[in-house]
Structure 1
């Protein structure tokens, strides 16, 4: 390198003063390492004595530790005034290194609990998969009811709970085990000894109360376990199978542990297919209304129909609600399904009138959760109003709807009544309403659950309960309807021993799709059919046996 001196451009003393004021440390040494020059920043940092104590930096240059601080040092050999020199320039990167260390820690550890995070846990599992000939357990731990803890006690208490829970879990770790927080209320654990007894003990320990801000907070954990290599040879497979085991614990009873079983994978596959079929059925509008008549047993006339949901399957058959309603509820799809059925019921008014006469009311079932949703019920009321004859409709809900913070009773019932829609308590006798709660209910109709009607003529205690319900309904001004009438003996008892006039059940008719030819048959027609048929406009009386 060629030395350059231009004193005519800049005075040497001024140049030295400028270099001395640089924030970067500048050090010049001769070839044998003797110090020739160090500016003020270098002297302050002690760089003159540490310039050779350097390590490679990933950012380029060398890292030098001096005086408890870290410097990024760039060095070069120069020729100045025909003398070979080693020149170094050092910048203090202590703060940057501190931030880098923090970012690296945050990239691998959870801020709240200090545990490894999901990414670091995956690295540790991958290392175990690559280097361990021994088996290990992959464990997924999900805290039960954590959302309720957060909602009730606040987020600060929720965070404190997670910290205490992680500390409790740490006590179960042995050498080589890894506990991580995957996020939220989920933890991951790798156990090298596969001791399932230790996992059971962990589940029991997490049921013990946590003392937070003076409150005793009870919780539990659902724990799923997959074993390597028995249940998977890679991270993703082990994770999925541990999740499947954890889901089984959630479904069975919160608080416990389960080891993965192969049949659960098959069950999950079947469930995924069922979910896909259900979503496609909604998209393709494969839900249909089947209408079951309500009959006035004094006149044998059809006084109304109940719209019951059916799913038309790939086989063309109409499937009952039990085959899809639980899954639709779990997936949060009941709003859509209920809306489709109410829409179909309003679209069927002309067909119902033609089949059963203009006096026939139309009942639609609304699940309790939807019935307590004011916005959803406004949309239902709008559909019924748009039908042009909302007064023909009855909204059927279970007792539970009236107990949902009283919203249904105080806000939704008045809204329905304002447009002429009546309200019915469905499946009465199977819910949880007390007599005091029932006294406040202003329904128009009370439907006695089929469990009280089945073989009523042979069950004296059920007869007593039925008479009490009948008297209660009459006292509260509600029309009482007996559901589930399937035999002539049941009907005969109702006629001879009660004042109940309205019934519904297979004895008169099964739920009927209007694309079937059967709705217009009279009661006296088709008597040889399995459960008989409802009469059309009540022209003929059912023959007695």
Structure 2
């Protein structure tokens, strides 16, 4: 059934449409609905035009009616649609925090270059900030985010119009340098980026210093796809990060081999943790004035598949990177707890047991709660000393406000390890609540010949006395160092190869020690030898 509509009703329908309609013939306007009249001022020849702040999409049609040409213009307000499209594009291809292109847009850009008929070299520089996790831990995530924004702004300002900088991860950026030019030119440009990056950042009243390790791959020499180029640049970056942070490394087959070797080491370390091939060694802490062993420090060692013993410097940083240190710390505590009877037999039932905890761990209340609970469960928490480097005590750290009360509650104590080589100054001690200061060995080595180290040690000693903290020096290796400490200071406690090297449990009563005590005054020798269960 067909219903007829009168002409006036049809015009009303056309006026109610959101689409503007304007018809003309032979340069004479013959019809326009309400929206068509509203859009009459649109400039001609533009597909998307702006009118009164709104985006109008315009389509021009040509029709022949009765042999006479007609022009019809359709116009539609697409402001919200374009805004939505722009927002979706931004979310898909740009980083929310820094506003930089993200991995998706970088990959599309590389694909466009590799698909070009005119092949030209370009470079991918994979940039990873050094120590960014520490900055987040000690200054807070807000400062960390602000730093990422400032890094993006600073380096973006150094790019050529043809280059691109993308953020592809938490603190990882990639520079697409196209065209690349000679390798020497690329190296000079990347070094310039690195020097700019190392300039101070001032954020929320703090001066933040950072650097970056950079790996570079070249197209087409190091790969013909985004995945290959990015993977090789990443390998080069990890190679330089493991040797000389803050530098640049170009990819080469040797770098690829090094990355493979690193992967093997990672797997070996994971297996060592799983198979309990990490062992504890124990080094005495000595009161060299009363000639008594007052405690032991529990030190980590890795015995590999071939029976080779690796010191912590060979693997602890890697364990931190792999997120293994929490498990390892609990393993160390478990072994030390199981060895208490042997420790008591060798060093005495009142000797303290010192455990090393990374500053990053100390700033994690959840982990520290689990560790503190485990120490309390030993039934002798008052014998435990937790050794932390100075970073753990920084003002914005959660250690002093949330973690330290847990430790105090169970009766354990706290030592500031490697004092003098970290972030804080002597004045910062006034805000630190600790029981012991452990002076780094760099101040003790040949101290009898180094007046500046002597002055620093005296200052630390005075400040420790004023703040009611005990003081222990580490790294005592010669009789001259010991005699200086006896004669020129009031310090009582020391640690070092002069007294005893770190020893495994089965060595405490079976190994002939290399203590070098024959040169020592007689009163120093026999008590220590008896204390560790050796025969003189």
TM norm structure 2: 0.67
- For residue 274 of structure 1, report the CA deviation from its aligned partner: 1.6
Query: What's 1:415 paired with?
Result: 406
Deviations 1:421-469 (A, max 9, x none): 1222222233343343213333222222222322333434433433443
Where do residues 166-181 of structure 1 align in structure 2 (5 Å cutoff)? Answer: 169=159, 171=161, 173=162
- For residue 310 of structure 1, report the CA deviation from its aligned partner: 0.9
- Are 1:117 and 2:108 counterparts? no
Greater displacement, 219-228 / 274-283: 219-228
- Are 1:434 and 2:425 counterparts? yes
Where do residues 122-161 of structure 1 align in structure 2 (5 Å cutoff)? Answer: 122-128=110-116, 136-140=121-125, 142=127, 151-152=142-143
- State the distance in 1 between where 2:211 and 2:378 align: 50
Deviations 1:312-366 (A, max 9, x none): 1112232111100122223333222222212222222122122222111111111
- Count of residues in Structure 1 that have an aligned counterpart in Structure 2: 461
Q: Identify if the C-alpha distance between structure 1 residues 118 and 471 changes in structure 2 by more than 3 Å, giving closer, same or farther.
A: closer
Q: Is the 8 A contact 2:122 2:178 kept in 1?
A: yes
Query: What's 1:457 paired with?
Result: 448
- State the distance in 2 between where 1:164 and 1:233 align: 30
Q: Mark the runs of 5 or more structure 2 residues left unpaired by the alignment.
A: 5-12, 14-56, 62-77, 200-207, 519-524
Q: Is the 8 A contact 2:500 2:514 kept in 1?
A: no
- For residue 388 of structure 1, report the CA deviation from its aligned partner: 0.8
- State the distance in 2 between where 1:68 and 1:219 align: 51
Query: What's 1:191 paired with?
Result: 178
- Are 1:391 and 2:382 counterparts? yes
- State the distance in 2 between where 1:301 and 1:480 align: 16
Deviations 1:155-188 (A, max 9, x none): 9x988996997697462x3xxxx85857567456
- State the distance in 2 between where 1:118 and 1:413 align: 46
- State the distance in 1 between where 2:343 and 2:459 align: 34
Where do residues 141-540 of structure 1 align in structure 2 (5 Å cutoff)? Answer: 142=127, 151-152=142-143, 169=159, 171=161, 173=162, 183=168, 186-187=173-174, 189=176, 191-192=178-179, 194-196=181-183, 199=186, 200-201=188-189, 204=192, 207=196, 224-232=215-223, 235-246=226-237, 252=244, 259-405=250-396, 407-514=398-505, 516=506, 518-520=507-509, 526=512, 535=528, 538=531
- For residue 415 of structure 1, report the CA deviation from its aligned partner: 2.3
- State the distance in 2 between where 1:468 and 1:460 align: 12
SS at match of 1:117: helix
Is the radius of gyration larger for structure 1 or structure 2?
A: 1
SS at match of 1:281: helix
Query: What's 1:55 paired with?
Result: none
SS at match of 1:433: coil
- State the distance in 2 between where 1:159 and 1:457 align: 49
SS at match of 1:227: strand
Q: Mark the runs of 5 or more structure 1 residues left unpaired by the alignment.
A: 1-9, 14-20, 22-66, 72-94, 210-216
- State the distance in 1 between where 2:177 and 2:365 align: 47
Give me the CA root mean square deviation.
Answer: 5.2
Q: Identify if the C-alpha distance between structure 1 residues 165 and 258 changes in structure 2 by more than 3 Å, giving closer, same or farther.
A: same
- For residue 404 of structure 1, report the CA deviation from its aligned partner: 4.5
Q: Identify if the C-alpha distance between structure 1 residues 246 and 477 changes in structure 2 by more than 3 Å, giving closer, same or farther.
A: closer
Q: Is the 8 A contact 1:138 1:242 kept in 2?
A: no
Q: Is the 8 A contact 1:203 1:222 kept in 2?
A: no
Q: Is the 8 A contact 1:135 1:194 kept in 2?
A: no
Q: Is the 8 A contact 1:289 1:345 kept in 2?
A: yes
- State the distance in 2 between where 1:448 and 1:219 align: 27
SS at match of 2:343: helix
- State the distance in 1 between where 2:387 and 2:100 align: 50
- State the distance in 2 between where 1:166 and 1:432 align: 30
Q: Is the 8 A contact 1:290 1:512 kept in 2?
A: yes
Q: Is the 8 A contact 1:203 1:220 kept in 2?
A: no
Query: What's 1:36 paired with?
Result: none
Q: Identify if the C-alpha distance between structure 1 residues 188 and 153 changes in structure 2 by more than 3 Å, giving closer, same or farther.
A: closer
Greater displacement, 275-284 / 399-408: 399-408
- State the distance in 1 between where 2:298 and 2:212 align: 42
Q: Is the 8 A contact 1:138 1:239 kept in 2?
A: no
Q: Is the 8 A contact 1:143 1:219 kept in 2?
A: no
SS at match of 1:520: coil
Q: Is the 8 A contact 1:485 1:505 kept in 2?
A: yes
